[in-house]
Structures are given as structure tokens and as C-alpha cells.
Chain A
Amino acid sequence: MPLNRRHLLGIEDLDPVEIELILKTGESFREISARPIKKVPALRGKTIINLFFEPSTRTRSSFEIAAKRLSADTVNFSHSSSSALKGETIIDTVKNLQSMAPDALVVRHPASGIPLVLSKHVKCCVINAGDGMHEHPTQALLDMMTIREHKQKLKGLKVAIIGDIRHSRVARSNIYGLTKMGAKVWLCGPPTLLPREFEQFDVRLTWDIREALEKADVAIMLRIQLERQGENFFPSVKEYFDRFGLDRDKLRLAKPDVLVMHPGPINRGVEISSEVADGEFSVILEQVANGIAVRMALLYLLLLPGASTQVVWD
């Protein structure tokens, strides 16, 4: 049962069977990180280039650790040290990188669609590590893996995604993934951050966090991008927290075994109170651990593709 594709550009392209395979493989990989020697030889001799045009510590180090635990070699290119500053176009940059014979490019870029464009110019696998306001597929995969770990399923669960939906690639990837896997997705945020375009998805929209949290199985809180505050999407941080921030009182509306998730980095007291972020329902740090497992699974599945026949090997 192989993953018959060269690139991972978004969850939108995946079908439920492929998502299931990635999640299941990720669950098997989780144990490797608990071993005394946290390394398996599967990707020995493979080279993976992390090409990050946007600041990231979590995703970049998670991809790097995932690659290293599979014995691949990794190289990091970041925006500040790359030739983009010297005027090179991104296409020229990746063509140069292609000449160094990598097996995969992990790309993060502030512009939506860059991974897709790059995938047409290189021979190696391209993995989208977040592009503009488009998708962040590995975040959605690790979120689904974390939910499954606790609920043993995705189908039928009420998942509320709350916060800055408009600018969030995490929200978009999760909407695709969760609805494909049969979850009931609710989106919630102030009208300025929850545009009507989202009605095209198979989701419910609400401006009332109480309605979103009512009997929810999972609450995914999104980061308020404080650097966008100058654009006046809401009157004040205080007012945002009062209406859309997750605190203990609002959380009582959800199911008693609700999971609180956040892709990080969190703004304490803006979208989530410290009490809830550190509380018993929070699985925020488990998400980070699962991120490594699911990225290992993805690298394994993309970099060691096989034909569709089963072999005898006893």
C-alpha cells in the first residue's frame, strides 16, 4: 500500500485512504523517539534540504529531527542567509539546489502556491511546510494524529477551529483533512477574521464562541497574529480575549473530555488563557511530539516509493 505521489503540497489533494496511511504510519513511528537510540537506518544516504523563507523554529526543527531520526542528511537554507537577498529568483535558487541532488525539498514561503511552482522545476520531492495563507499540511496531519490518539477516531467528532481563520493556513489544511475524515468542523472568529468564503467548505460558521464550543470534542485555537494588529481586525486584545479567547468558563460548554489544541506559538492571554493552555485538557505539547512522528512517516512514504505489488520476503 504505497503513497502514490511525489510531492505533498496540500491536504486538498489527498484522499481519505492516503490520509489514513500517513496517520497509521505516523503512529508506528512514534515509538522510535522513545528508544535509547532514536535513529533507524531507513533513509540512509538521502539528502533533505529545508528551504525556509519565513521564520520558523518549531516546524523547521521538527522536519530536521524527523529526517535525522531516519538517518537522512539535512541542510538548512534560511531566508536571511540565502542568495534571495542578493537578488536571485526563487526558481534560480531551487534549480541550483536541484544540482546538488537532494531527495526532498521542504519549503516554507510567505507566498501561497510557491511549493506547487517549485515542484514543477525540480526532480525531487517537494513538501509544503506552510505557504502563505494556503496550506500547512503537516500541521493538519499531526493534529489529526493527536485527535485520533485520544479519541480513536475522527469521524463524527465536533471540532471547533477558533480564531484568525482568515490568515490561517493551519485552518485551511485542517478543514480539508478533518472534513475528508468525516469530522464535523465549526469555524469561529470575529467577522473580520472569518470571511464568508469559508461557506464553500463543508463546515459551520459562527461568530459566537459559545455555539462553537457547545459539546465540542476538540477545540483548535489559532494564534492571533499580533503583528497584524495595525490592520484593525478587532478593537483591542482585551476585547478579543473576552469574546474569542479560550478560558476555563467557556471551556465548560465543551464535552467533559474535550481536547484543547494549538499549533503554536501561543499568545497567553490573547487567544488562550494560561490556565487552559497548561491545564488538564491541553494536548499542545503532545502535538509537537506527534509532529516529529508524522513528518517521519511522510518522509518515509515519499522518499521510498514502491510499485503496487507485494513481495515475498521471509
Chain B
Amino acid sequence: MSARQMELVLARIAAEIVEKHPDLDNLLLIGIRRRGIPLAGRLQKHIQGLTQKNIPLGILDITLYRDDLTTVAAQPVVESTRIDIPVEGRKVILVDDVLYTGRTVRAALDLLVDFGRPRQVELAVLIDRGHRELPIQADYIGQAIQTADEEVVEVQLLEVDKAERVLLTNRELVRKKRKISTK
């Protein structure tokens, strides 16, 4: 997926959100660290372009809620969670780059309810690649693609990766690339 296609997809998701929630006052967009954060910001801009309304943004770092925290090989660096307005009674849209096993979203839901009881929670993702391990689905999907388990969907965003595209690679390649970049 190219940068151009990515923007079109985000514009479409923004339009879908506006269509589904004509009354935008009660919405809150929350990006899941890391790439969900810039994506939520871009959705906010698109929605503002369509309606002149500014939807508040939040950030979730789900590290401490992972279900594999005791078995995961690398200790993830914890970064901060920021939700400045009460989620109580709000319609929350969680935003992430790739929906895969569903475990990140499960963790995000647990974290979110520790901030209060939202009226409704929806999920927007850029890519849905299948292979769910939990009963979770997205409400807004940029593109659904068929993948094999050993493949890797790599979303690159200017804000995080200095490039703007979505790549379908495999684990072997990613591992090789990581080795080179850490040398």
C-alpha cells in the first residue's frame, strides 16, 4: 500500500465515522502505541476537514496489560498512557495499525475500562490481516488482506519510521533486516 492509498483509506474511515456518528460531540479517538497514535491524529484531521469539529485524542500504552508479559522474550519499555478527558459515558474509537491476533485490542480494552466506563467502544484499523486468536473484530477497516501466519505486515508511518507505506514481508526477512540494523 502506498502513501497515497493510505491517505485515501484513512479519509474513507473518517467519512464512515462521521456517517455513523453524526453527533460527534461525544467521541474520543484513542491511538494504541505506537503506530495507532499518528493514525488517530490523521483520522482526527480528516474528521475536522469534513465537519470542522475537533475530536479529542488519547494514547494507550498496553505493555503492562499484555497477557505474555511473564513469558515474552524481551522486556518492553513502558511508555506513558495519556487520556486527559474522562472516558465515562463517551463513545471511544480505538485506533491501531494492524489487527492480527486480537490480543493487543483485548489488552487495550482492559486498560481503557480502568479509566472509566465508556458508553461504547469501537475499533478502527488500517489493515486487518486475519488469524484472530480472540473473538474481536474491527468496526472500520482500511483494507482486509489474506496472509499466511509466517508473513509480516509492516506498516511504516512518517512519524515513526520515516517512510510511508504498508509492506507484506515474511519473518525471515524481518529478522535479517533487524540484525543488520542493530549492527
Contacts and interface: CB of A to CB of B under 8 A. Distances in A.
Task: Report the interface size class on chain B.
Answer: 20 to 34
A306 B171 CA distance: 21
B98 A314 contact: yes
Contacts of B81: 31-32
Task: Report the interface size class on chain A.
Answer: 20 to 34
Interface string B151-167: 01100000000000000
B34 to A, nearest CB: 10
A25 B78 contact: yes
A25 B77 contact: yes
B97 A314 contact: yes
A310 to B, nearest CB: 5
Contacts of A306: 72-76
B149 to A, nearest CB: 12
Interface stretch (B9-17, B61-69, B135-143): B61-69
A308 interface: yes
A42 B69 CA distance: 7
Given A312-B171, A313-B104, A314-B104, A29 B78 contact: yes
A45 to B, nearest CB: 8
Contacts of B61: 28
A1 B79 CA distance: 13
Contacts of A226: none
B74 A305 contact: no
B171 A307 contact: no
A311 interface: yes
A304 B80 contact: no
B75 A304 contact: yes
A255 interface: no
A37 B115 contact: yes
B72 A35 contact: no
A310 B174 CA distance: 12
Interface of B: 61, 63-66, 68-70, 72-82, 97-98, 100, 104, 110-111, 113-116, 152-153, 171, 174, 178
Q: Which 3 A-B residue pairs are closest in the complex by CB-CB distance? A: A306-B75, A2-B75, A42-B64
